Amino acid sequence: MSDLLIKGLLDTLTIVFMSTLFSFIGGFPLGVLLVIWKKEGIAPWVIGEKILGSLVNVIRSIPFIILMIALFPITRLIVGRGYGVNASIVALVIGAIPFVARLVESALEEVDDGLIKAAITMGATPWQIVTKVYLIESIPSLIRSVSLTMITLVGYAAMAGAVGGGGLGDIAIRYGLHRYQTDIMLITIVMMVILVQLIQNIFHFLAVSLDRRRITN
Q: Which is nearer to another protein, 117 or 179 (CB)?
A: 117
CA distance 207 to 2: 34
Q: Are 181 and 189 in contact, with CB atoms under 8 Å apart?
A: no
Q: Is position 178 an interface residue for another protein (rule: CB under 8 A)?
A: no
Q: Least separation, in Å, of the C-beta of 20 and another protein?
A: 23
Residue 121 interacting with another protein (CB under 8 A): yes
Cβ–Cβ < 8 Å for 203, 144? yes
Q: Taking a C-beta distance cutoff of 8 angstroms, is the pair 67, 158 a contact?
A: no
End-to-end CA separation in angstroms for the chain: 54
Binding part of the chain for another protein, among 18-26, 35-43, 78-86, 126-134 by CB under 8 A, reads: 126-134
Distance (Å) of CA 176 to CA 10, 92, 157, 172, 173? 18, 23, 17, 5, 5
Site string for another protein, 61-80 (x = CB under 8 A): --------------------
Q: Does the footprint of another protein cover residue 125 (CB under 8 A)?
A: yes
Under the binding rule (CB under 8 A), the answer on residue 114 touching another protein is yes
Size of the site for another protein (CB under 8 A): 25
According to the binding rule CB under 8 A, does residue 214 interact with another protein? Answer: yes
Using an 8 Å Cβ cutoff, are 201 and 123 in contact?
Answer: no
What string marks each residue from 183 to 212 as x (binds another protein by CB under 8 A) or -? ----------------------------xx
CB atoms within 10 A of CB 158: 22
Segment contacting another protein by CB under 8 A, of 27-35, 39-47, 57-65, 122-130: 122-130
Sign of CA dihedral 203, 205, 206, 210: positive
Q: Tell me: does residue 213 bind another protein (CB under 8 A).
A: yes
- Between CA 94 and CA 106 the distance in angstroms is 20
The binder of another protein chosen from 16, 133, 146, 199 (CB under 8 A): 133
Q: Does 110 bind another protein (CB under 8 A)?
A: no
Kindly calculate the radius of gyration of the chain based on its CA atoms and give it in whole angstroms: 20
Of 80, 112, 194, 197, the one binding another protein (CB under 8 A) is 112
Which residues are at the interface with another protein (CB under 8 A)? 112, 114-115, 117-125, 128, 132-133, 136-137, 139, 211-217
